[in-house]
Structure 1
């Protein structure tokens, strides 16, 4: 993966920082100048990003869950950890875990 200047990303932390910066821009005043006719193209791109985000989230959550990493913070399962550490509601946390397990069982879907 390369950045706009052709340099590769050096770490997961750097990739997350860049992702946050891009989303901050899209949620900020700069994106308010977007021509309404261009919204469709942006929405298609956001749909692609959302699919990739879902796959990445499920992949990391699968590793976290398989390692019982929630135990180190005193939580009995990954859904409980998500609720506490990411301020998710119980139904949302359970949905994330269920989706992760569905994708884990379907490698072709996770890679799509």
Structure 2
């Protein structure tokens, strides 16, 4: 299944292999990062700003709106990752995003 509101950051085809950076509508970026980290090593923003808690200036420069730049997650896939691991991360990511969106709607 797919989720609405997921935006690929960067060029659609001219990309670094094994690197996926997406912005997620309707979630807090830090909450998403914390929700994913028990299962997968991810970082927020671009590689240039992953240690900062503010929106990435790189994502802003490519036209990403500040809320989406703040809610971006970067996944790195290595040569030793298996298809099963990638599927498990995808499932966990989807369920985490759905849970955060439900929590946001309840508070909103």
What interval of TM-score do these two structures reach, taking the shorter chain for normalisation?
A: 0.3 to 0.5
Q: Which has the higher contact order (CA 8 A, sep 6+)?
A: 2
TM score, norm. by length of structure 1? 0.32
Q: Identify the structure with the greater helix proportion.
A: 1
TM score, norm. by length of structure 2? 0.33
Q: Identify the structure with the greater strand proportion.
A: 2
